[in-house]
Structure 1
Amino acid sequence: MALAPEPDQRGRILDAALRLMGSGGAHAMSMRRLAAECGLNVATLYHYFPSKADLLREVIAHQSYEDLLAQTPPVDPSLPPRERLAALLEWIWREMATQDDMWRVLLGESLHADPAALSSAAELSALFESALHRWMRDLFTGEVLVEAEVLARVLRGTIYGFFIENLPLPYGDRMRFLSKRAREVATVLLPA
């Protein structure tokens, strides 16, 4: 009699696949290596995911950012505007850094023009820009800012650019660098 699969087995497979894809890219990860990592046979993987492309789509879909983007960032609204913006940027970069493997997968597979990665990256960018717009509106009520929608679009590109540029650095070095960049961005966007 066959044993029933663990209820969380699918999630364990997706988490292991994300780690492996994040370290070497989806193209370099074999189903055999993933099976070994999970302590399963390859046939079991194909039971859950008929192809590597299906696995990649599910790895990306498994990550949900709606809850994070729906929350209000823990930024003190009584801070001066520049400090408030710098605190928001630092919080965003810390949250992004908790998902390094996903960023590597999305970037790598988007560069390989994988349709699932391109679609997921575009969807995530739209959700992120919408959240930025809302955060800017809520955190800077009453301050004279450029149009919040335009500012959100500019910030999105700036946030991605600095984050991706520093993704190879160790976490501590990256956060120190990004903290400096947060203050510089705030100074440029909110001149005295």
Structure 2
Amino acid sequence: MAYRQTPAVEARLQDNRSRILQAARALVGEGGWKEAQVASVAAAAGIATGTVYRYFPSKAELFAEVLSAVSQREVDVLADIADSGGAALGRLHSAVATFVRRAMRNPRLAYALIAEPCDKEIDEARLTYRAAISEVVRSIIEAGQASKEVRPDVRPDIAATVIVGGFMEGLIGPLSPLSRQQHQDTEAYRREVAQLADQIAALACTSVAVPAATVKPLHRRAS
């Protein structure tokens, strides 16, 4: 007769897995991929190091799942904005600005997700994440072309890739551990983040918006 796990055992195993992922995410948020070692994750989760490997065969697989889980939440937030209705350029601005603001809430974690050197498995998860965000942006651009807000001469997939690459590249400096220390509890910092988010979003929108009609100046005759 095959052994079947009891509900209590299944719940305990799931709890251990959740604690491992939560501990790993917290450590990445504090010091990036290099500082988050399996032994540290185990200690933070309150379990033995060997137990971590029962759930995740390698450090790379553990942190690839951490990246995937955090990234999916960001994709879901942007997808909600894309589906919210209203002007396409307004949705594009909101999506990009929201991404920037959310990244700046935890700069160290966001830097690890976007730009920090990492193992191949983690980088593959990162590329999947960027592709998913690009797909959301592509859907907004296509809607903007249908409503004639967005230039018809751009390919939506290429434009989306350029926009996503642009706003992520624009965040590397502000998120980098080498930059000055941010003070997230100050009003000045919140204003800086709001300005950064608005400027990056405005540039993204300008890159695909239909140019405003050119108004030719009137030349008066000399009297």
| Short-chain TM bin | 0.7 to 0.9
Question: Which residue of structure 2 aligns with residue 77 of structure 1?
Answer: 86
> Per the alignment, in what secondary structure is the counterpart of residue 8 of structure 1?
helix
* Structure 1 residues 67 and 74, CA gap change in structure 2 (3 angstroms): closer
Amino acid of the residue matched to residue 71 of structure 1? Answer: D
The 5 Å alignment of 1:112-191 reads 112=118, 114-143=119-148, 144-145=150-151, 146-147=153-154, 148-168=156-176, 169-170=182-183, 172=190, 173-190=192-209, 191=211
> Per the alignment, in what secondary structure is the counterpart of residue 25 of structure 1?
helix
Q: Deviation digits for residues 68-87 of structure 1, max 9, x if unmatched?
A: 454343766258x5x55433
Q: Deviation digits for residues 107-149 of structure 1, max 9, x if unmatched?
A: 22xx24x111221122122222222111111245321514223
Report the number of matched residues: 185
TM-score between the two structures when normalised by the length of structure 2: 0.66
* Structure 1 residues 132 and 164, CA gap change in structure 2 (3 angstroms): same
Gaps of 5+ in 1: none
Amino acid of the residue matched to residue 20 of structure 2? Answer: I
Residue 8 (1) aligns with residue 27 (2): no
Question: Which residue of structure 1 aligns with residue 215 of structure 2?
Answer: none
Q: Is the 8 A contact 1:69 1:127 kept in 2?
A: no
* Structure 1 residues 36 and 91, CA gap change in structure 2 (3 angstroms): same
Amino acid of the residue matched to residue 8 of structure 1? Answer: D
Residue 49 (1) aligns with residue 56 (2): yes
Question: 1:38 is matched with which residue: 34, 45, 51?
Answer: 45
- Residue range with higher mean Cα deviation, 58-67 or 28-37: 58-67
* Greater C-alpha Rg: 2
- Residue range with higher mean Cα deviation, 120-129 or 178-187: 178-187
Partner Cα separation in structure 1 for residue 83 and residue 139 of structure 2: 14
How far 1:42 moved relative to its partner?
A: 2.2
**Runs of 4+ with deviation above 4 angstroms:** 95-100, 168-171
* Structure 1 residues 98 and 116, CA gap change in structure 2 (3 angstroms): farther
Amino acid of the residue matched to residue 82 of structure 2? Answer: P
Partner Cα separation in structure 2 for residue 93 and residue 126 of structure 1: 17
Amino acid of the residue matched to residue 179 of structure 1? Answer: D
Question: Which residue of structure 2 aligns with residue 24 of structure 1?
Answer: 31
Q: Is the 8 A contact 1:166 1:174 kept in 2?
A: no
Q: Deviation digits for residues 28-85 of structure 1, max 9, x if unmatched?
A: 2233322221222323223323332332233234445264454343766258x5x554
Partner Cα separation in structure 1 for residue 145 and residue 84 of structure 2: 11
How far 1:154 moved relative to its partner?
A: 1.9
* Root mean square deviation of aligned Cα: 3.1
Partner Cα separation in structure 1 for residue 61 and residue 87 of structure 2: 47
> Per the alignment, in what secondary structure is the counterpart of residue 27 of structure 1?
helix
Quote the sequence identity (%). Answer: 24
> Per the alignment, in what secondary structure is the counterpart of residue 40 of structure 1?
coil
